[in-house]
């Protein structure tokens, strides 16, 4: 009985990493295309500037987004929004809540 439980635990331990690994995979071509896009706006990998790494790639991604007409998150917001209902006039407010 112990060997069956042990075998099940070992099998589970081997299957879980494989399942988590297969969730998101991108191809080399996709990575190369993304690096080419970043290079087109001035970001170059391996230029020796490690002191400004996060800012440099974020700036390059922002330039790409601006060039492609995208916002930072989601799509462009061209709609309108109305929060709350219409305002109650002072006369109506007084007629409801004053004695």
Domain ranges, ordered by start, for the chain? 25-71
pLDDT at residue 21, rounded to an integer: 59
Task: Name the packing angle between helices 28-40 and 53-68 (round to 10°).
Answer: 90
Residue range 18-35: mean pLDDT, rounded: 78
Q: Is 61 exposed, middle or buried (0-12, 13-18, 19+ CB in 10 A)?
A: middle
Would you put residue 84 in left (φ > 0), alpha (ψ -120 to 50) or beta? left
pLDDT at residue 29, rounded to an integer: 92
Residue bearing the bigger pLDDT, 80 or 65 = 65
pLDDT at residue 76, rounded to an integer: 54
Q: Maximum Cα–Cα distance for the chain, whole Å?
A: 82
């Amino acid at each position: 009985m112990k060997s069956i439980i042990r075998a099940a635990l070992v099998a589970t331990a081997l299957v879980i990493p494989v399942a988590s690994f297969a969730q998101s995979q991108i191809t080399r071509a996709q990575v190369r295309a993304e690096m080419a896009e970043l290079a087109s706006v001035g970001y170059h990998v391996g230029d020796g500037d490690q002191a400004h790494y996060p800012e440099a790639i974020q700036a390059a991604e922002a330039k790409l987004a601006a060039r492609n007409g995208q916002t930072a998150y989601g799509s462009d917001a061209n709609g309108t929004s109305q929060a709350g209902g219409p305002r109650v006039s002072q006369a109506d407010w007084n007629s409801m809540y004053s004695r």
